[in-house]
Amino acid sequence: MVQRMTALFPGQGAYFPGALTAARQLPEADQVLREIDAVAQRSTGETVSDLLFSPDAPAIDELLASNPDLLQLAIYSTSVLAHRVLLSRGLRPDVLVGHSFGEIAALVCAGAFSVADGAEMICHRCAALRSVGELDGYQLALGTDLLRSERILQLIGDPDAVAAVENHEGQTVIAGPRASLDTARTIAGALRIGAVTLKSPYPFHSPMLRDAAFDFASRIRHIPQYRMEVEVYSPILGRAYRNSDNLVTALAGHLTRRVHFATAVRAVRDTGVGTFVECGSLDALTKITRRVLGDGPDVVPLLLPGTSLMETLASLGEDRARSSTQSEQVRLALAPGLGNAEFERLWTARVDRIARLVISEFSATADTSGSARAELPVELPTPATDFVLDRAPDPPPVESGRSAPADSAEQARAVPARDELFQQLVGIYAEALEYPPEVFDEHADLEAELGVDSVKQTELLRKIGETYQLGPLPADFKIGEHNTLGRIADLISAA
């Protein structure tokens, strides 16, 4: 059947310079950003448009230091605009899911608040956080599951140090006072659990923000709430929002409550969702969702550096159209008297039973007729496969008896410029270690600061050697002398 679609809205960190440069001429961009710019101009003295459309815009670290409010508005704007473009291409998600701060964008896209009101909420949220002053706390990503993370916190015994975000079985974010989290890091190190400090200005989803939550609630009490046009599932509440919920109160409370993201994606998957689309910059939620659900569903990031938003949407649309055509064939073959909506409802509710009946029929046929196979009157729909953007063409085959061109080996060994190489290494290490890319810099010690043991470092170096065709590591190679990505990049450049 036509797979239900979920739109995922990321939170902190979902930004890279020039993410929306290619969308500048789209009519949806003007409609969305005109409203947000008006709010941004009043609050920050700048517009979000100038930031989002410029490929030379500041990096995330610079914005965190110089204009954090504008960064939050940029993340929000990117998500709302990505969703608006999705709708304009005929791709309408059935469920919306926001990760932490991303729940504001999800509720706006569902129609619960206007675009301008969502931007105003974000400005009030920033002001409420500033009102509590500097808090001596932070967020720490532990490379383990929720249960082990909570056991570490139990040993510390600080009620303000809590599990803040459950991303997947290999990553839990804890938050709280600096002293307690420093202790948690030490315990994690002794247990050989990776621990990475997140570049977050506040210990979100911890009791340390209770005063900010009360202030935020009072600031947004006047914002009107409208009827939602599509379901929004909250990883914080552990259920879908209802129109009877007081949404502004719920959003304020999110500053202190835990995010159960892994549980949320499993819950929406179980309603028949087969496609997850990340409406925002980068692919943090794409990676988490794939880690939680495996290879079953299609998980598509809309905005990655070096990819085309329009090409991604076109490919996604083709897959949905193909699935829709196959679904119609199945409906006409099995239940031509039912309308599409009723058939979809019954199929979703009874798909397991239908599958068992088909398997039983095939097994019975095989038992009575040897190798004979029953044929279905139509082709059943199959899950859409992952698609790859901007894939390089396969090399031409080499004719028998002829060798490859003399320069082909040199082309295969080609190493990019140093800066580009470093960014590629960041991507490889971030994906392998399930760490956010921003924790890696030229000088971060992989073992002492990021908790990567020598066995894992050797494994990754072998992978890099294969990627850049550098050959085996020399016998006298010392891991301790290549303990940062900067040194590894220098090693590859010099090879």
Do the domain assignments include residue 177? yes
Residue 289 has pLDDT above 50, yes or no: yes
**CATH code, 430:** 1.10.1200.10
pLDDT value for 361? 60
Residues 265, 228 within the same domain: yes
Q: What stretch of H or E contains 493?
A: helix 485-494
Residue 380 has pLDDT above 60, yes or no: no
CA 48 to CA 365: how far, in whole Å? 63
Residues 61, 155 within the same domain: no
Residue 365, C-beta contacts closer than 8 angstroms, at least 6 positions apart: 372, 373, 374
3-state secondary structure 213-267: HHHHHHHCCCCCCCCCCCEEEECCCCEECCCCCCHHHHHHHCCCCCEEHHHHHHH
Residues 195, 47 within the same domain: no
pLDDT in tens, 292-342: 999 889 999 999 988 888 787 877 766 554 444 445 455 555 666 565 556
Q: Residue 459's closest CA among 476, 480, 473?
A: 473
Q: For residue 280, give the 3-state DSSP assignment.
A: strand
Q: What is the mean pLDDT of residues 178-200?
A: 95
pLDDT in tens, 129-162: 999 998 999 999 999 999 999 999 999 999 999 9
Residue 474, C-beta contacts closer than 8 angstroms, at least 6 positions apart: none
pLDDT value for 332? 52
Q: What stretch of H or E contains 138?
A: strand 137-142
Asked if residues 31 and 356 have their Cβ atoms less than 8 Å apart, the reply is no
Confidence class for position 376, pLDDT limits 50, 70, 90: very low
CA 466 to CA 476: how far, in whole Å? 19
Residue 261 has pLDDT above 80, yes or no: yes
pLDDT in tens, 268-283: 999 999 999 999 999 9
CA 210 to CA 128: how far, in whole Å? 11
Q: Residue 309's closest CA among 11, 5, 18?
A: 18
pLDDT value for 307? 86
Residues 143, 247 within the same domain: no
Residues 113, 185 within the same domain: no
Residues 262, 123 within the same domain: yes
Q: What is the mean pLDDT of residues 52-76?
A: 91
Q: List phi, psi (to 5°) of 383.
A: -60, 140
The alpha-carbon radius of gyration of the chain (Å, integer) is 25
pLDDT in tens, 420-434: 888 888 888 887 877
CA 314 to CA 318: how far, in whole Å? 6
Asked if residues 69 and 77 have their Cβ atoms less than 8 Å apart, the reply is no
pLDDT value for 474? 65
Q: What pTM value is reported for the model?
A: 0.71
pLDDT in tens, 437-487: 767 888 887 876 677 777 778 888 888 887 887 776 666 677 777 888 888
**CATH code, 216:** 3.40.366.10
Full residue range of the structural domain in which residue 434 is found: 408-494
Residue 128 has pLDDT above 60, yes or no: yes
- Structurally, the chain folds into a number of domains equal to 3
Amino acid found at 207:
P
Do the domain assignments include residue 363? no
Residues 164, 26 within the same domain: no
Mean pLDDT of the chain: 83
